[in-house]
Amino acid sequence: MIKKIGQCNSLQVLKDAKLSRTSQRVAVLDMLINAERPLTVIQIFRNINFHQKIHKVTIYRILSSFVAKDIARGIPTDEGINYYEMACRHNPVHAHFYCKSCKKMFCLDPATSSRAIELFADLNGFKIEALSLNITGVCSNCNKGGSL
Amino acid sequence: MIKKIGQCNSLQVLKDAKLSRTSQRVAVLDMLINAERPLTVIQIFRNINFHQKIHKVTIYRILSSFVAKDIARGIPTDEGINYYEMACRHNPVHAHFYCKSCKKMFCLDPATSSRAIELFADLNGFKIEALSLNITGVCSNCNKGGSL
DNA sequence: ATAATAAATGCAATTAAATTGCAATTATTA
DNA sequence: TAATAATTGCAATTTAATTGCATTTATTAT
Ligand SMILES: [Mn+2]
Ligand SMILES: [Mn+2]
Ligand SMILES: [Zn+2]
Ligand SMILES: [Zn+2]
């Protein structure tokens, strides 16, 4: 499991991506930048709306715009829920672990992840747009009754 | 990409799993056994209902029972749709390629897949229940205008 | 073979994530 | 500061999947 290291400046990220600077986008982006794990739309919605009111649909649209601009990436679970994380240079594509118990998603070691990903580098004729390696199970905290 | 080799007998599979033998279960199971790629509920529904009437909800429930008994496994896509394939001894867990264009899912080489999967074998304290390695993109057929 | 019991199915209604249309608001640019 | 373009809020919709319940079908015991 890794911890986020690299930090980005949300205003700079938006400027580079040529996305207009709205308070909603800044709020969502700051949340992604500071998150220590991928977040769902609902998690972002709840956290932001503690202080600021943003419509849920807006968060869907903001995240879609981030994904389109390669600012963020979406990680779908077995259970059909999308988690989002930064897709900046500090955070290359990597594998994830999803805990069915606490519903948290953990980022897995990027070195091991990239070794796995490289194995599928040449699927001749097939154009690869995204690769996801997801493990589902129960996290160590939940295993020892941590969710109580 | 691989082709299905191993065959199973649907009646025997149901008996071994202690699932009662209904015409609906036999139809769904035969379809999975003979499929050359994973199928969605809708695909199964359409194919079966060409000759036999089965309610869509029944297919959902049948597939859930198959997954619970490890007869089949579900493979979710980026787009939130579940594909199903046999989970018998002839078909170990492996990676998949999902074509966004034609919506077909392809099974990838199980040898390469298992090498990738082994890399994540020991996540200490984390109980692994499922592992999925999914690549999304455009298949070779669609790449050369095959979907036209 | 028949009756009793248990399981599976069909149908309608529901859930929940995600998407869309459109009017109102906000940001960018000239 | 005004004009233009983009974004947001809200309501309605879409769609995969799930649930409750009455009916039908399969399994089991007699
Ligand atoms: Mn991650
Ligand atoms: Mn497969
Ligand atoms: Zn957990
Ligand atoms: Zn294709």
Per the structure, the residue whose CA is closest to nucleotide C26 at C1' is A22
**Does A126 map to a domain?**
yes
Q: CB distance from B57 to chain A under 8 Å?
A: no
**Does B5 map to a domain?**
no
- List, in sequence order, the alpha helices (H) in B55-128: 56-68, 110-118
Span between the terminal Cα atoms of chain A, in Å: 22
Tens of pLDDT, residue by residue over A8-53, are 999 999 999 999 999 999 999 999 999 999 999 999 999 998 889 9
Nearest to B116 among A77, A97, A119 (CB): A119
d(CA B40, nearest CA chain A) in Å = 14
Does position A1 have pLDDT exceeding 70, yes or no? no
Whole-number distance in Å between B47 CA and D13 C1': 28
* Upper half-sphere CA count for residue B42 (Cβ side, 13 Å): 4
Domain count, chain A: 1
Cβ–Cβ contacts within 10 Å for residue B103, how many?
A: 16
Domain span holding position B65: 10-145
Which chain B residues contact residue A76 at CB under 8 A?
A: 76-78, 80
**Burial degree of B7 (CB within 10 A; 0-12, 13-18, 19+):** exposed
> Which of helix, strand or coil describes residue B135?
strand
The answer to whether the Cβ–Cβ distance between B135 and A123 falls below 8 Å is yes
Please state whether beta strands B39-40 and B82-86 pair in parallel, antiparallel, or not at all (unpaired): antiparallel
Looking at chain A, which residue has its C-alpha nearest residue B94? A133
Whole-number distance in Å between B21 CA and D25 C1': 10
Residues B132, A134: Cα–Cα separation, whole Å: 5
The larger pLDDT score, comparing residue B79 to residue B4, is at: B79
Nearest to A131 among B106, B125, B135 (CB): B135
CATH number (domain holding residue A93)? 1.10.10.10
Tens of pLDDT, residue by residue over A83-128, are 999 999 999 999 999 999 899 999 999 999 899 889 988 888 999 9
Assign B148 a pLDDT band (cuts: 50, 70, 90): very low
Whole-number distance in Å between B77 CA and D24 C1': 35
Selection from B69, B6, B131 nearest residue A112 by Cα:
B131
Cβ–Cβ contacts within 10 Å for residue A67, how many?
A: 16
Q: CB distance from A127 to chain B under 8 Å?
A: yes
**Does A3 map to a domain?**
no
Assign A148 a pLDDT band (cuts: 50, 70, 90): very low
Residues B70, B86: Cα–Cα separation, whole Å: 9
Provide the whole-model pTM: 0.90
**Does B96 map to a domain?**
yes
Which chain B residues contact residue A73 at CB under 8 A?
A: none
For residue B95, how far is its CA from the centre of ligand 2 (angstroms)?
Answer: 7
Tens of pLDDT, residue by residue over B113-124, are 899 888 988 888
**Does A112 map to a domain?**
yes
Which chain A residues contact residue B97 at CB under 8 A?
A: 123, 126
Selection from A16, A22, A2 nearest residue A85 by Cα:
A2
Tens of pLDDT, residue by residue over A74-85, are 999 988 899 999
Does position B138 have pLDDT exceeding 60, yes or no? yes
**Burial degree of A57 (CB within 10 A; 0-12, 13-18, 19+):** exposed
Which chain B residues contact residue A134 at CB under 8 A?
A: 131-134
∠ CA(B100), CA(B112), CA(A82), 5° rounding?
Answer: 40
Tens of pLDDT, residue by residue over B64-118, are 999 999 999 999 998 989 999 999 999 999 999 999 989 999 999 999 989 988 8
Residues B75, B95: Cα–Cα separation, whole Å: 10
**Does A21 map to a domain?**
yes
- List, in sequence order, the alpha helices (H) in B51-146: 56-68, 110-118, 140-143
**Does B2 map to a domain?**
no
**Does B82 map to a domain?**
yes
- List, in sequence order, the alpha helices (H) in chain A: 10-16, 23-34, 41-48, 56-68, 110-118, 140-143
